[in-house]
Amino acid sequence: MLYRISSQGDFLRADLYYRENAEEAREFFGAVAQSATRRRCFNVLVSVHHSSPLFTVDRSGFLTELTPLGGDPQHKIALVADSEELDYSHEYLELLGQQHGINVRHFRSETSALEWLRPGSQTSTLSGVDVTGVWPTS
């Protein structure tokens, strides 16, 4: 497993490569939480590459490490995956995270995730599909 965490202006970028198991995920999410707290940067882009899907949320550290970051509605955590299988696991992380009060969304593209992370963005998602603008009224 390799990861890189860096400040990118208004958000923290956390790239993860070759994660194979829940223990590696726990290490990564711990490093992300520590870095975000230290840098006082609470909008986080988590981009996962060439990794196994993750469905063992309780052992992954996702909830325990990221709840303090994403519990404030102003703080956002965006998840992006490089494969369909990873995207399914991110959808699951989103569902469980939201049930625990984390402001987290999964996206199919980094561009959409960055749009959502942008301060003042009014973009929301429905099952990973980006929705912007005004809903028509009848």
Does residue 100 fall inside a structural domain?
yes
Please tell me the distance from the alpha carbon of residue 69 to that of residue 78, in angstroms, as a whole number.
12
Does residue 138 fall inside a structural domain?
no
**CB-based contacts of 32: which residues, under 8 Å, 6+ apart?**
5, 12, 14, 44, 46, 65, 66, 69
Please tell me the distance from the alpha carbon of residue 106 to that of residue 79, in angstroms, as a whole number.
4
The three-class DSSP label of residue 83 is coil
Query: pTM here?
Result: 0.84
Q: What is the pLDDT of residues 60-99, one digit of tens each?
A: 999 999 888 767 788 999 999 999 999 999 999 999 999 9
Does residue 137 fall inside a structural domain?
no
Total number of domains in the chain: 1
Does residue 29 fall inside a structural domain?
yes
Does residue 19 fall inside a structural domain?
yes
pLDDT at 128: 41
Read off the tokens for 78: 């965006």
Please tell me the distance from the alpha carbon of residue 70 to that of residue 64, in angstroms, as a whole number.
11
Mean pLDDT across the stretch 30-45? 94
Closest CA to 28 of 76, 72, 74, 79: 79
Does residue 83 fall inside a structural domain?
yes
pLDDT at 136: 42
| Domain membership of residue 8 as a residue range | 2-131
Does residue 28 fall inside a structural domain?
yes
Does residue 72 fall inside a structural domain?
yes
Find the CATH number of the domain harbouring 119. Answer: 3.30.750.24
Q: Is-contact 4 18, C-beta < 8 A?
A: no
Q: Is-contact 129 106, C-beta < 8 A?
A: no
